[in-house]
Amino acid sequence: MSEETGRKEVVKSETDESTLDAAYVETHLEESPQKPEIDHSKLYVWIADSGNDRIQKFDGNGKFISQFGSSGGTRAPYNPGEFKTPSGVTVDVEGSIWVADTGCHRIQKFDGDGDFILEFGTEGWGQDKFYFPENIVAESMGTILVVDTSNHSIKRYDDGGDFLLGFGFPGNFDGFMKFPTGITLDKEGNIYVADRDNQRIQIFNEDGQFISKFGEYGFEEGRLNFPNGISVQSDGSIIVAEKSQNRLQVFDRDGHLKRVIGETGKRDGQFNCPSSLAIDPYGYLFVVDTINHRIQKFDPELNFIAKWGIIGKEGGQFKDPAGIGLSWEPDWAPSEN
């Protein structure tokens, strides 16, 4: 073979390989599934703006929509629609807004426009009394669960505020609690509680019967340092926000660590006292970053994508935001097969 013929063969081979590579890339790009564009303007994010004694409503992109509430008096009786450090907010199946009015030791219910409907609870211990309730979550059957933090218990009420069920006592045995804060539900209706001062997560069935627990105190990855917020992903993974460690940890149902997100700081994806979590039907995570006075948004793979909020009193600003609840337009959420 001549040198010239050899060069032609090399050029032909390289050309053929380039053509094949280009064809592969083109085919690969065409066959790669594209993530659907999610219109978060139809998702609504409700924030318990604790330091400003109000509830604020945003769309899922962080656009301010409305607010309601004002500061309550220094002692009971408290007026309807007033708050003292509200720490929890949730939206029920009918679109009503429920607020854990922490400093007033009561629960208040509002319609979707923020108009007062009812209230129940006074300071104390018992079925219809609370002592600094810090969180609340709506269940699919129309009931609500209240985290009665300083009474170390969880209580269920119907849509009229009538008591249905209670579980939890002060202590560290299974099913006992010590200043519980965060609460969430999975698709089966199981109840997950961030048992904060016991440095653990407890899981109960829908009847309040203890199922399992995990966690022990520590600073290392996989241990817990005052878990405050909790949410469950569609695959059953449990995301825990630690207010004193300024991170999110993801566990499986048995408490085995899967990954860690975040660290102390003010930059994107960093936290200063992350207190509450919420996951939308498409898997996007919203984090109440309390001392940074903002909300952070993460995609379903838990990559940071957006934030909003600064300290202040104007609409869209925050002072120590604490709780979060989500709602959305009818037919916005994906249908369940």
Tens-digit pLDDT profile for residues 197-223: 999 999 999 999 999 999 999 999 999
Give mean pLDDT, residues 125-148: 97
CB 211 within 8 A of CB 258: no
Characterise 168 by phi-psi region: left (phi > 0), alpha (psi -120 to 50), beta (else): left
Q: How many angstroms separate the CA atoms of 10 and 323, rounded?
A: 66
The predicted-structure confidence for 268-323, as pLDDT tens digits, reads as follows 999 999 999 999 999 999 999 999 999 999 999 999 999 999 999 999 999 999 99
Counting Cα atoms < 13 Å in the Cβ hemisphere of 91 gives 23
Residue 193: how many other CB atoms lie within 10 Å: 27
Across residues 11-16, what is the average pLDDT?
Answer: 43
Q: 11 pLDDT exceeds 80?
A: no
Question: What is the residue-wise DSSP string for 159-181?
Answer: TTS-EEEEE--BSSSTT-BSSEE
Q: What is the mean pLDDT of residues 172-184?
A: 98
Nearest in space to 106 (alpha carbons), one of 120, 85, 118: 120
Strand 82-83 to strand 70-71: parallel, antiparallel, or no bridges (unpaired)? parallel
Rounded-to-integer distance, Cα 256 and Cα 52, Å: 38
CA distance 231 to 201: 11
Q: Which residue has the tokens 């300071």?
A: 123
pTM above 0.85, yes or no: yes
- What is the average per-residue pLDDT within 7-29? 41
Portion of the chain with pLDDT greater than 90, in percent:
86
